[in-house]
């Protein structure tokens, strides 16, 4: 295992949790294995593992970008990960306020509704 893959897998597990990564790994096939390696090394082993931004900051940026693109499943997954990154509901709300201004009110409004549902599922009072 390369250093980047190893550090990527460690970061992926620390942010998304072992259960999520174990599910992804157990459902991996020869078809999507190269993609899983790409995101483990590139996204998690390079971008998320960089020490320039905190996990909290990366989490907020990621949520804003996913909300702006309407990537609901990924947004929900990364919102659940805030339990591990330190991004508070208030941080998420502020990130979504930026989405409203820079990417559009409908995207932010939809993401806020999704966030309320995910937080409710997580047992987080908002």
The CATH number of the domain where 83 resides is what? Answer: 1.20.1290.10
Q: What is the number of domains present in the chain?
A: 2
Question: Are residue 48 and residue 60 in the same domain, yes or no?
Answer: no
Question: What's the confidence (pLDDT) of residue 88?
Answer: 98
Domain end (from 15, 35, 52):
52
Q: How far apart are CA 1 and CA 61, in angstroms?
A: 29
Question: Are residue 114 and residue 77 in the same domain, yes or no?
Answer: yes
Q: pLDDT confidence of 8, banded at 50, 70, 90?
A: very high
Question: What's the confidence (pLDDT) of residue 73?
Answer: 98
Question: What's the confidence (pLDDT) of residue 2?
Answer: 81
Question: Are residue 9 and residue 39 in the same domain, yes or no?
Answer: yes
Q: How far apart are CA 61 and CA 65, in angstroms?
A: 6
Q: How far apart are CA 95 and CA 82, in angstroms?
A: 13
Report pTM: 0.94
Q: How far apart are CA 111 and CA 37, in angstroms?
A: 29
Q: How far apart are CA 111 and CA 116, in angstroms?
A: 9
Question: Are residue 102 and residue 122 in the same domain, yes or no?
Answer: yes
Question: Are residue 73 and residue 40 in the same domain, yes or no?
Answer: no
Q: pLDDT per residue over 36-63, tens digit each?
A: 999 999 999 999 999 999 999 999 999 9
Question: Are residue 89 and residue 121 in the same domain, yes or no?
Answer: yes
Question: Are residue 44 and residue 65 in the same domain, yes or no?
Answer: no
Question: Are residue 45 and residue 58 in the same domain, yes or no?
Answer: no
Question: Are residue 11 and residue 43 in the same domain, yes or no?
Answer: yes
Q: pLDDT per residue over 83-96, tens digit each?
A: 999 999 999 999 99
Question: Are residue 38 and residue 10 in the same domain, yes or no?
Answer: yes
Domain end (from 9, 26, 52):
52
- Per-residue DSSP letters for the chain? --HHHHHHHHHHHHHH-HHHHHHHHHT--TTTHHHHHHIIIIIIIIIIT-SSS-HHHHHHHHHHHHHHHT-HHHHHHHHHTHHHH---HHHHHHHHHHHHHHT-HHHHHHHHHHHHHHHHHHT---
Range of the domain at 35: 1-52
């Amino acid at each position: 295992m390369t250093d980047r893959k190893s550090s990527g897998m460690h970061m992926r597990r620390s942010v998304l949790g072992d259960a999520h990564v174990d599910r992804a790994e157990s459902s991996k096939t020869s078809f999507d294995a190269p993609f899983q390696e790409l995101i483990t090394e590139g996204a998690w082993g390079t971008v998320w593992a960089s020490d320039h931004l905190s996990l909290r900051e990366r989490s907020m940026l990621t949520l804003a970008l996913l909300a702006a693109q309407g990537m609901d499943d990924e947004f929900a997954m990364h919102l659940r990960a805030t339990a591990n990154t330190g991004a508070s509901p208030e941080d998420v709300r502020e990130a979504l306020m930026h989405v409203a201004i820079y990417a559009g009110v409908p995207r932010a409004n939809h993401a806020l509704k999704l966030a309320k549902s995910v937080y409710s599922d997580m047992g987080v009072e908002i």
